Structure 1
């Protein structure tokens, strides 16, 4: 068979697949008679009453001299690690605002950071295509620099996201611009599994984010520039369990819902979406119309501990608090006093749900405390 014939057959097959995908999409939509908000309204549910004093900025963490790209909380709630364009990781005491570690990185172009489950180590990655591990208990060298304890090498593109497997100090998952995700054994520094790449069910563009299911740590989701999110099982690396369509732009952020049966996404198309991993259905779209018709991109998302609230950071500096049940914005942290002056590039909730931390291109991090009964939402 000639090359021309192969190309023609490939084009015909691609058209067939696209047509089947469109038919499947239409069939799924026909089965969805309502969304979460529609059903909630039919049951007489009302939106959460949320005022400016229910979530207030209690402290600003200043110390970075470049855009903040990533942050993570420890499981014991009182420490935060942040990564910045200034080429440093800073570990903060969230209660006192003091810096406990300021780690100078071998590569300044860092994009992601994460605490290990015990909080004894931090991982980071970026444009050097490596994931570097630092043991916070290691002694510093003569220059006061904390040495790298392990380097995970194998990606062929930038490392966009990293997350430790829950309750495991020795395994983490990374996502990359090489269109793959990788499960690593930190003890050996070797790749345990590669998800995507040459496999047909993998992403077809840069992978930007990952989220591991806390209820079943063998499952994780990934978001990509190909406009899809994919569900993976670490026991079956050869193919994605399910692919989720709906976004019309890069999927910048993914986050599992607290119950582990659903997950949220944030995209360049300006929407957040909620998907069910069991059915593959899109349950809800979260979108706020702007008067100027400009659509700010969603860069970061997080859920409250009950899942009733969705926090979303945008490129225009807004940080919306969504009522996930009614798909309604109940508060915009970008419009209150002490808000960020740049894009909200990262955010995360403390383990007990009592505080939210946001990081921004304005070089600062802010800790927002919930007041009164709002602590349990």
Structure 2
């Protein structure tokens, strides 16, 4: 068969697939008579009200000499690990602001970090395509550095995100610029499963973020530069369980809703979206209109313990607190005293929900404490 005919067939098949996808999208829209906010408002629900003192910056963690790229809390809520362009991981005591570890990385180009569930180890990854594990209890070497305890080698592109499987120090999931996610056995350093890649239902561009479902750690969701989020089951690694469309730009961040039945996404298109796992429907869009129509990029998201609040970091230094129910911004941390002076690159809520930590390109991390709204959120 001549090449020209093959190309024609390929174009025709692509057009057919795109046409079917559009028809499916229209059918889905017909099934959705309203969104979460529309339904909530029809029931007379109003937004959570926040005063200026209900969420305040109580600490600034200073010590990095480069942009902060990633952070993670320990389950015991008292410690934070952060990764920076300065090529170091710093472990902080969140209560005292004290640095307990400053770990020099083998590769300075770090993009992500994570605490193990026990809090005994930290993982990091970046442009060297390796996920590096450090045991915080290891003795330091003669140069004063913490030795690497395990290298997870196998990705063919940068490691963009890593997360330990809940309650297991022995398993970890990474996402990568090679369009795949990988489940690792930390003990042996071996890959257990690869998600995507040569499989047709995988991502078609760099994978930027993963979130593991705490209610069911066998499933996780990933976000990618192909503008989709995908749901995976570690028991069936060969194909994505479901693909979620809607964004018009890179999906930079994904996070499961506390009930494990929904998840949130944040994108270059300036929007956050809430998706339902079971139906595949988009339930809500969180978007603030900007005067110049140039919406800032969403870099990171997290939910409050109840799911009523969505914390969103943006590339312009804003950090919005959204009411997920009525889709309204109830507070902008970027407008408060002691706010960051640069892009918010990462954020995360402590395990008990009592504090939020934000990291920024201004080289600092900030801890925000809740006042009177602790019981609401």
Q: TM-score range by the shorter chain?
A: over 0.9
Separation (CA, whole Å) in 2 of partners of 1:265 and 1:232: 15
Counterpart of 2:261 in structure 1 is 261
- How far apart are 1:291 and its partner, in Å? 1.8
Pairing 1:190-201 to 2, within 5 Å after superposition: 190-201=190-201
- How far apart are 1:373 and its partner, in Å? 3.6
Pairing 1:58-73 to 2, within 5 Å after superposition: 58-73=58-73
Structure 1 residues 124-165: Cα deviation after superposition (integer angstroms, max 9, x where no partner): 000000000000000000111000000000000000000000
Does structure 2 retain, via aligned residues, the 8 Å contact 1:353–1:375? no
Counterpart of 1:56 in structure 2 is 56
Counterpart of 2:144 in structure 1 is 144
Counterpart of 2:283 in structure 1 is 283
Counterpart of 2:14 in structure 1 is 14
Does structure 2 retain, via aligned residues, the 8 Å contact 1:354–1:375? no
SS in structure 1 at match of 2:40: helix
Does structure 2 retain, via aligned residues, the 8 Å contact 1:182–1:195? yes
1:189 aligns with 2:189: yes
Does structure 2 retain, via aligned residues, the 8 Å contact 1:131–1:152? yes
Structure 1 residues 308-329: Cα deviation after superposition (integer angstroms, max 9, x where no partner): 0000000000000000000000
Pairing 1:63-102 to 2, within 5 Å after superposition: 63-102=63-102
Alpha carbons of 1:77 and 1:275: their partners in 2 closer, same or farther (altered >3 Å)? same
Counterpart of 2:333 in structure 1 is 333
Separation (CA, whole Å) in 2 of partners of 1:244 and 1:113: 26
Counterpart of 1:128 in structure 2 is 128
- How far apart are 1:12 and its partner, in Å? 1.6
SS in structure 1 at match of 2:144: coil
Separation (CA, whole Å) in 1 of partners of 2:194 and 2:156: 12
Separation (CA, whole Å) in 2 of partners of 1:213 and 1:180: 18
- How far apart are 1:375 and its partner, in Å? 4.9
Is the deviation greater in 310-319 or in 11-20?
A: 11-20
* TM-score, length basis structure 2: 0.99
Is the deviation greater in 296-305 or in 1-10?
A: 1-10
Counterpart of 1:294 in structure 2 is 294
SS in structure 2 at match of 1:52: coil
Structure 1 residues 212-231: Cα deviation after superposition (integer angstroms, max 9, x where no partner): 00000000000000000000
SS in structure 2 at match of 1:90: strand
Pairing 1:99-248 to 2, within 5 Å after superposition: 99-248=99-248
SS in structure 2 at match of 1:194: strand
SS in structure 1 at match of 2:133: strand
Counterpart of 1:47 in structure 2 is 47
Pairing 1:294-313 to 2, within 5 Å after superposition: 294-313=294-313
Does structure 2 retain, via aligned residues, the 8 Å contact 1:123–1:162? yes
Does structure 2 retain, via aligned residues, the 8 Å contact 1:47–1:328? yes
SS in structure 1 at match of 2:124: strand
